[in-house]
Amino acid sequence: KRLAILLSGRGSNMVALVKAVQQGELHGLAEIAVVFSNKPDAPGLATAAELGCSTASLASQGLKRPEYDAEVVKLLQTYQPDYVVLAGYMRILSPVFIQAFAGRILNIHPADTHQHQGLHAYEWAFNNRLSETKITVHMVDEGLDTGPILAQRTVDLRGADTLSEVERRGLLVEHELYANTLVRLLQGQLKIES
């Protein structure tokens, strides 16, 4: 299956997925159709190119959200993705985007989506001194972090006394969980509620 990975920043989840495709558990199951960013200068885009991926970007300045998303849909469709994999893509998707790839958009969220939606999930876990938090991989629907959950994994936060330690532990889990969830999805082992 062909994956389009969308990012806006650093791209550590993208790297984990590309490595899983190139030499890990997604090898033979998935290929990277394109890595796309709404930020032409996103560090993750340069990293993706270094890893040998096709890359594309489109700046959103001056376009209203639905207009921009319609352009992105057109661009992505030229790469014929089976799944759109959000990996730190910092934009809320409009219905035109969701409908174009209905049931085929995944996101990773660094919290339990029932407990915390939106930005700053690690800060939230840290500031509330949680002893554990969860990473969630879910299907994307028209709400913010509301779609059906595909997988969750717990992050042990005991003794994590800085925000960067919380993030470090969380990202380790993110990187494993995202690839592993895609494996299970592509092997037909996950049932998606709709």
**Beta-carbon neighbour count of residue 39 at 10 Å?**
18
Alpha carbon distance 136, 146 (integer Å):
11
| Shortest Cβ 48–ligand GRF spacing (Å) | 11
Contact with ligand GRF (CB under 6 A): which of 5, 12, 48, 101?
12
Does position 174 interact with ligand GRF (CB under 6 A)? The reply is: yes
139 marked ligand binding residue: no
Contact status: 44 vs ligand GRF (CB under 6 A): yes
11 annotated among ligand-binding-site residues: yes
- Which of 9, 70, 124, 190 binds ligand GRF (CB under 6 A)? It is 9
Task: Figure out which of the listed residues 87, 150, 166, 182 binds ligand GRF, where binding follows CB under 6 A.
Answer: 87
10 near ligand GRF, rule: CB under 6 A: yes
Annotated catalytic, 109? Answer: yes
β-sheet with 55-57: strand ranges across = 55-57, 31-37, 2-7, 83-86, 105-109, 132-139, 149-156
Is the separation of the CB atoms in 66 and 92 below 8 Å?
no
Query: Residue 104, annotated ligand binder?
Result: no
Give the number of residues in contact with ligand GRF, rule: CB under 6 A: 13
Does the annotation list 13 as a binding residue? Answer: yes
Binding segment for ligand GRF (CB under 6 A), chosen from 65-73, 91-99, 105-113, 147-155, is 105-113
> Please, what's the largest Cα pairwise distance for the chain?
47
Q: Measured from the CB of residue 126, what is the shortest distance to ligand GRF in angstroms?
A: 13
Catalytic residues: 109
Binding residues for (6R)-10-formyltetrahydrofolate, by number, are: 65, 90-93, 107
> Which residues of this chain interact with ligand GRF, rule CB under 6 A?
7, 9-13, 44, 87-88, 108-110, 174
Binding residues, by number, are: 11-13, 65, 90-93, 107
